[in-house]
């Protein structure tokens, strides 16, 4: 399999590819070669370059990608002489030594178009259309999981911490892949449509599901594997090619995905490109057949705006403030357990996780007591939550210090009563935020106005079901998820009827999002489009209507045909009679 750099490396460089095959690198664009050489000469002394000079001058002048930082340093160390310097031949050979290094300095505008063109040529050749080829790629993804468990665990731990269980919960894709393989024939089969009414043309009507083309998939950092492999399996099942850009906020997983996807999937149809905001902006300019994005609503708007310039359809899986309503008939101990397990998972960094609780005031204190009791038993003190770095740790870290600082600010400015946890135990630089329950924060506070996406759980008392509906609509009219805990089915239906959401759960949280047979997606500000299983297959397919016409009849009888561009009174009367109008 060709690594991407093999296509942009030094002229004539022969690189070993996964599987033992060889490939010859295409030359770099002349303009970039001169830019790279010029930067090297400017930063070097006497034709040689130290790593410090390289890092201070060359990497500052060119768009290096941060996820490659460790690889760049390691490759530099391999090629330096005894005095710690590299010359131009040694530096330029980094491409052959460590695929992806030199490429990371190529502006995305120069990288993206050739990759897109190659994948588009593959798609146009028809290679991805046979169902057996698609199944082969899905089986390769299964092997990727099964054969690389330890490497995947280390990558996930490197980004978010936590114990071994954290990586194990992302293995659900193995079963979902099997589900897609087993059902693809049925999903892809032509559907014969029986037309209604007397005006449909005679013949055989077919609805055919066809691949769209080259899809751009933008992964997320919170479930680094699931939120790439999940939509990718639907994209593959539908017969498309794909460029994948993992999140730069989870660099360990991003590099592991790049390595493994290039190793296991057909490189002529699937490619990983790394990048941050400038690189992503460049990628969004291309005329993709479809864009799949998982992330924040703010970035979703940027993605959609860029896609509109090329009329590219999008699937946006965003977020929002998913409410939980607990009424006075609910099993409060059960509600507390299920809400907290959902909220604790991945340290609250899950798009469908409960964001806040609305509880009837008659049982508000009882619910708070149950929440605190369960959290105390299952999570322990802030020191317990920090863990010992072993495989048994449950709590993860926040993705970065910026988000940890944001969460601490939510606690500091909530205006409510902290009944579990404390701001004093937050470690922003260490990316640790203890699980915190806040009773009745101010309605105008950030913790109730912005998506939390972390281990903070506000609890608000409300007078009635109607009051809860009003608060939920005011905070976020179209959240990604909605949860109701009640023993009264009429109450559950009333809340779900009154508050629109991407998905909903009664006496549960989060579980509705992990069924491969059911659609997963948002509505309104929480996104649009959906994937998983058959829904995902259809999302990334073009639904093409085909009519195989017979010789019998015509949509317009001959009596309606014009003569010398004049329509007769008989034709007009026939039309009126056919549609029952005067």
* Active-site amino acid positions: 317
d(CA 11, CA 101): 16
- The pair phi, psi for residue 219, each rounded to 5°, is -80, 170
CB 574 within 8 A of CB 559: yes
- Among candidates 176, 138, 173, 177, which has minimal Cα distance to 152? 173
In this structure, is the dihedral angle defined by the CA atoms of residues 173, 178, 179 and 180, taken in order, positive or negative? positive
H or E stretch covering 141: helix 131-147
CB 533 within 8 A of CB 517: yes
361: Cα separation from own chain's centroid: 38
Q: Per the structure block, which two tokens stand in for 252?
A: 């360990």
- Helix ranges restricted to H, 309-358: 332-344
CB atoms inside a 10 Å sphere around CB 325: 25
d(CA 170, CA 221): 13
Q: Per the structure block, which two tokens stand in for 568?
A: 């007769």
d(CA 380, CA 127): 55
Q: At 12, is the secondary structure helix, strand, or coil?
A: coil
DSSP letters spanning 51-96: HHHIIIIIHHHTT--GGGHHHHHHHHHHH--TTSEEEHHHHHTHHH
DSSP designation for 58? I
Q: Is 130 exposed, middle or buried (0-12, 13-18, 19+ CB in 10 A)?
A: exposed
Tracing tokens 């009154």 back to the chain, one arrives at: 498
């Amino acid at each position: 399999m060709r690594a991407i750099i093999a296509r942009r490396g030094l002229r004539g460089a022969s690189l070993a590819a996964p599987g033992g095959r060889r490939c010859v690198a295409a030359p770099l664009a002349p303009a970039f070669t001169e830019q790279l050489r010029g930067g090297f000469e400017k930063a070097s002394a006497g034709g040689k370059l130290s790593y410090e000079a390289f890092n201070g001058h060359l990497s500052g002048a060119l768009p290096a990608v941060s996820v490659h930082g460790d690889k760049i340093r390691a490759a530099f160390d391999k090629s330096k002489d005894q005095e710690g310097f590299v010359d131009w031949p040694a530096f330029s050979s980094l491409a052959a030594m460590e695929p992806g290094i030199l490429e990371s300095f190529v502006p995305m505008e120069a990288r993206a178009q050739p990759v897109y063109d190659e994948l588009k040529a593959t798609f146009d050749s028809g290679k991805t259309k046979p169902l057996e080829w698609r199944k082969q790629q899905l089986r390769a993804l299964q092997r990727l999981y099964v054969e690389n468990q330890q490497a995947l665990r280390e990558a996930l731990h490197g980004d978010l911490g936590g114990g071994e269980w954290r990586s194990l919960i992302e293995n659900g894709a193995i079963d979902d892949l099997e589900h897609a393989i087993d059902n693809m024939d049925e999903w892809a089969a032509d559907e014969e449509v029986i037309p209604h009414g007397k005006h449909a043309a005679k013949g055989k009507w077919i609805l055919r599901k066809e691949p769209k083309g080259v899809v751009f998939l933008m992964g997320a950092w919170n479930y680094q594997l699931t939120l790439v492999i999940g939509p990718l399996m639907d994209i593959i099942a539908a017969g498309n090619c794909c460029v994948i850009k993992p999140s730069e906020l989870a660099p360990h997983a991003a590099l592991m995905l790049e390595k493994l996807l290039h190793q296991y999937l057909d490189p002529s149809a699937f490619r990983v490109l790394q990048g941050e905001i400038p690189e992503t902006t460049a990628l969004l300019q291309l005329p993709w057949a479809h864009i799949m994005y998982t992330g924040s609503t703010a970035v979703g708007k940027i993605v959609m705006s860029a896609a509109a310039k090329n009329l590219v359809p999008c699937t946006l899986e965003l977020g929002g403030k998913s409410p939980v309503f607990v009424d006075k008939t609910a099993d409060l101990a059960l509600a507390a357990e299920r809400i907290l397990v959902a909220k604790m998972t991945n340290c609250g960094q899950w798009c469908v996780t409960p964001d806040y609780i609305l509880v009837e005031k008659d049982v508000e204190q009882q619910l708070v007591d149950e929440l605190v009791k369960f959290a105390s038993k299952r999570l322990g003190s802030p020191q317990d939550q920090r863990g010992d770095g072993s495989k048994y740790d449950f709590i993860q870290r926040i993705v970065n210090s910026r988000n940890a600082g944001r969460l601490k600010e939510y606690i500091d400015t909530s205006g409510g009563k902290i009944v579990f946890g404390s701001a004093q135990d937050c470690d922003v630089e260490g990316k640790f935020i203890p699980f915190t329950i806040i009773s009745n924060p101010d309605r105008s506070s950030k913790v109730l106005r912005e998506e939390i996406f972390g281990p903070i759980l506000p609890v608000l008392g409300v007078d009635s079901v109607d009051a809860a509906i009003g608060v939920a609509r005011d905070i976020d009219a179209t959240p990604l998820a909605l949860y109701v805990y009640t023993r009264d089915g009429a109450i559950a239906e009333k809340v779900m009827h009154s508050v629109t959401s991407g998905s909903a759960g009664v006496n549960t949280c989060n579980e509705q999002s992990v069924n491969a047979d059911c659609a997963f997606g948002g509505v309104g500000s929480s996104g649009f489009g959906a994937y998983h299983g058959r829904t995902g297959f259809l999302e990334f397919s073009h639904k093409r209507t085909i009519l195989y016409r017979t010789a019998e009849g015509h949509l317009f009888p001959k009596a309606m045909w014009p003569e010398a561009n004049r329509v007769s009174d008989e034709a007009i009367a026939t039309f009126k009679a056919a549609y029952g109008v005067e």
